[in-house]
């Protein structure tokens, strides 16, 4: 089946520089699709071409079966865009900002009134309808901007780094909002530099680096691409950590890393089987264990393996010293 957005062999050059290099992506209706990449990877350039705001050097894009170069106005009508920079008029009130957007889409007076009311409610800004946008907090401004970009009720929403610069609380609130939009049947394409955001929010992800797609898949597929292994984590106490580590090293020949009260190790072969044996061994030896768990490699590991470098906000270093699978760019 063809996706609601089909990007085929897309190239964009600026002079000699290739910002987007033979990108092909298929996005299915109803998905939250993430384009994950660091600064300068080509995310915004790609998005601008999806919306017909920038002409491709070569390649093609269809949105809902319409070729974007040939039908730019129809595509703009069915697609909302939240740009990286928040675009609201500081001097106008929240309601006035929405009013202007509604007029741009030629909504009738009645339609405008209900759309504005709904939008304010959705952004949890009903009580701030008459507050100047400039006086709102960063998170509130971003929410106002999001509902403004979808005042015409588009089928597709494109969000360019929707949470960059937001604090954790506002970020989580934005994620909930995006999930609620998906529940309403809206297809969402978002770009992000945050590995956790891609992992938590997106149904499918295209990882891009230097203008090229280096991998596409669900978060789990991407993690499994890196390795079939698992990370095992054992929590004990600070005092006992070394003792437990020595036991595991000796008995199971595992390469254990001691990180305070936490022990970590990568199980490369038959991870489930090994995990069972280790658990059994620890119980039989009456080792002082608080918890033991096993999980897939993190998105950070995925990124390191795919691109050879860590993302700017990378935090996990837990399993990056194992497994030599390196995918070609």
Ligand X SMILES: Nc1ncnc2c1ncn2[C@@H]1O[C@H](COP(=O)(O)OP(=O)(O)OP(=O)(O)O)[C@@H](O)[C@H]1O
Chain positions contacting Mg ion, by CB under 5 A: 43-44
Q: Which burial class, exposed, middle or buried, applies to 2 when counting CB atoms under 10 A from its CB (0-12, 13-18, 19+)?
A: exposed
Nearer to ligand X, 34 or 297 (CB): 34
Nearer to Mg ion, 42 or 139 (CB): 42
Nearer to ligand X, 164 or 170 (CB): 164
How far is 69 from 152, CA to CA, in rounded Å?
22
Q: Least Å distance between CB 47 and ligand X?
A: 8
Tokens of 265: 């190790």
Order the strands of the 66-67 sheet from edge to edge. 17-27, 5-14, 58-63, 66-67
Nearer to ligand X, 45 or 318 (CB): 45
Q: How many CB atoms lie within 10 A of CB 122?
A: 16
The residue from 193, 216, 274, 298 that contacts ligand X (CB under 6 A) is 193
Does 206 interact with ligand X (rule: CB under 6 A)?
no
Closest residue to Mg ion, Cβ-based?
A: 44
How far is 219 from 268, CA to CA, in rounded Å?
19
The residue from 4, 19, 68, 222 that contacts ligand X (CB under 6 A) is 19
Q: What does 150 interact with, of Mg ion, ligand X, none (CB < 5 to 8 A by kind)? A: none
How far is 124 from 137, CA to CA, in rounded Å?
13
How far is 202 from 212, CA to CA, in rounded Å?
19
Does 37 interact with ligand X (rule: CB under 6 A)?
yes
Q: Least Å distance between CB 269 and Mg ion?
A: 41
Name 265's Cβ contacts closer than 8 Å, sequence gap at least 6.
Answer: 231, 232, 248, 254, 255, 256, 257
Contact set for ligand X, span 41-60 (CB under 6 A): 41-45
Q: Are 279 and 234 in contact (CB under 8 A)?
A: no
Q: What's the distance, Cα to Cα, between the start and end of the chain in Å?
A: 27
Nearer to ligand X, 17 or 269 (CB): 17
Q: What number of chain residues touch ligand X (CB under 6 A)?
A: 13
Q: Least Å distance between CB 23 and ligand X?
A: 11
Nearer to ligand X, 41 or 244 (CB): 41
Q: Least Å distance between CB 148 and ligand X?
A: 21
Judged by the rule CB under 6 A, the positions of this chain that interact with ligand X are 14, 17, 19, 37, 39-45, 84, 193
């Amino acid at each position: 089946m063809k996706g609601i957005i089909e990007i085929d062999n897309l190239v964009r050059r600026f002079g000699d520089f290739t910002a987007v290099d033979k990108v092909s992506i298929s996005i299915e209706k109803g998905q939250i699709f993430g384009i994950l990449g660091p600064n300068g990877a080509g995310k915004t350039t790609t998005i601008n071409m999806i919306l017909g705001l920038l002409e491709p050097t070569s390649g093609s894009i269809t949105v809902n079966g319409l070729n974007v170069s040939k039908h730019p106005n129809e595509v703009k009508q069915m697609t909302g865009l939240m740009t990286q920079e928040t675009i609201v008029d500081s001097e106008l009130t929240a309601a006035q900002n929405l009013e202007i957007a509604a007029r741009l889409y030629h909504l009738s007076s009645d339609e405008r009134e209900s759309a504005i009311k709904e939008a304010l409610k959705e952004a949890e800004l009903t009580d701030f309808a008459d507050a100047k946008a400039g006086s709102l907090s960063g998170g509130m401004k971003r929410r106002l901007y999001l509902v403004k970009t979808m005042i015409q009720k588009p089928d597709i929403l494109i969000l360019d780094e929707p949470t960059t610069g937001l604090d954790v609380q506002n970020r989580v609130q934005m994620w909930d909002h995006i999930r609620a939009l998906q529940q309403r049947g809206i297809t969402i394409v978002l770009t992000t530099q945050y590995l956790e955001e891609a992992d938590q929010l997106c149904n499918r992800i295209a990882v891009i680096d230097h203008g090229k797609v280096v991998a596409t898949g669900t978060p789990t597929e991407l993690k499994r691409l890196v390795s079939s292994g698992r990370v095992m984590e054992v929590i004990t106490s600070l005092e006992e950590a070394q003792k437990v580590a020595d036991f595991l090293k000796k008995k199971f020949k595992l390469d254990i890393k001691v990180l305070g009260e936490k022990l970590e190790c990568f199980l490369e072969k038959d991870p489930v089987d090994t995990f069972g044996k280790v658990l059994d061994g620890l119980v039989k030896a009456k080792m002082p264990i608080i918890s033991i768990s096993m999980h897939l490699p993190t998105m950070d590991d995925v990124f390191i393996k795919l691109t050879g470098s860590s993302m700017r906000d990378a935090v996990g270093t837990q399993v990056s010293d194992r497994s030599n699978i390196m995918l070609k760019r």
